[in-house]
Structure 1
Amino acid sequence: MHLQGIAEKIKCRAFPTTLKGPARIWFSRLMPNSIGTFKELSAQFSSHFIGGHRYKKSTACLMSIKQREDETLRSYIACFNKESLSIDEADNKILMVAFMNGLRKGKFLFSLYKNDVKTMSDILYRATKYMNAEDALLAYEEKPRKRERHKESR
Structure 2
Amino acid sequence: MNVQISEQFVAPQFKIYNGTTDPESHIKTFSNAMAFRTGNDAIWCRAFSLSLEDEALEWFNTLPHNSIENFAGLKQLFIKQFAASSTQELTVFELMTLKQGKDETLRTFMDRYQKTVRRVKSLTPELALHYVLPALKPGPFKDSVCRRAPKTMEELRERAADEIRVEEMKLSYKKENQEARGERADNGKSNPSAGKPSGSRHRE
With structure 2 as the length reference, what TM-score do the two structures score?
Answer: 0.47
Query: How far apart, in 2, do the equivalents of 1:18 and 1:142 lie?
Result: 50
Indicate yes or no: 2:59 matched with 1:22.
Answer: yes
**Closer/same/farther in 2, CA of residues 153 and 126 from structure 1, 3 Å limit:** same
Q: Would you say 1:133 and 2:163 are equivalent positions? A: no
Q: Which deviates more from structure 2 when the two are superposed, residues 79-88 or residues 15-24?
A: 15-24
Identical pairs, percent: 19
TM-score (normalised: structure 1): 0.58
> Deviation at 1:47?
6.7
Q: Residue 77 of structure 1: CA displacement?
A: 1.0
Q: How does 1:4-83 map to 2 (within 5 A)?
A: 20-25=57-62, 27-28=63-64, 38=69, 42=73, 46=76, 49-50=79-80, 52-53=82-83, 54=86, 57-60=89-92, 61-83=94-116
Structure 2: any 5+ residue segments left out of the alignment? 2-44, 50-56, 189-204
- Structure 2 distance, partners of 1:50, 1:115, is 47
Q: Distance in 2 between matches of 1:21 and 1:114?
A: 57
Q: Which amino acid aligns with 1:93?
A: E
The alignment status of 1:84 with 2:125, answered yes or no, reads no
Aligned pair partner of 1:111 in 141, 144, 154 = 144
Q: Aligned equivalents of 2:187 and 2:172: distance in 1?
A: 21
- What do the CA deviations read for 1:56-86 (whole angstroms, capped 9, x no partner)? 6244132232212221111111112223333
- In structure 2, the residue matched to 1:95 is 128
Q: Do the aligned partners of residues 84 and 153 (structure 1) sit closer, same or farther apart at CA in structure 2, a change above 3 Å counting?
A: same
Q: Distance in 2 between matches of 1:17 and 1:122?
A: 42
Amino acid at match of 1:99: V
Q: Which has the larger radius of gyration?
A: 2
SS of residue paired to 2:131? helix
User: In the TM superposition, what is the alpha-carbon distance from 1:149 to its structure 2 partner?
Assistant: 4.2
Letter in 1 for 2:89: K
1:120 aligns with 2:127: no
Evaluate the alpha carbon distance shift between residue 22 and residue 64 of structure 1 in structure 2; reply closer, same or farther with a 3 A threshold.
Answer: farther
Which ranges in structure 1 are unaligned for 5 or more consecutive residues? 2-14
Count residues with an aligned counterpart. Answer: 135
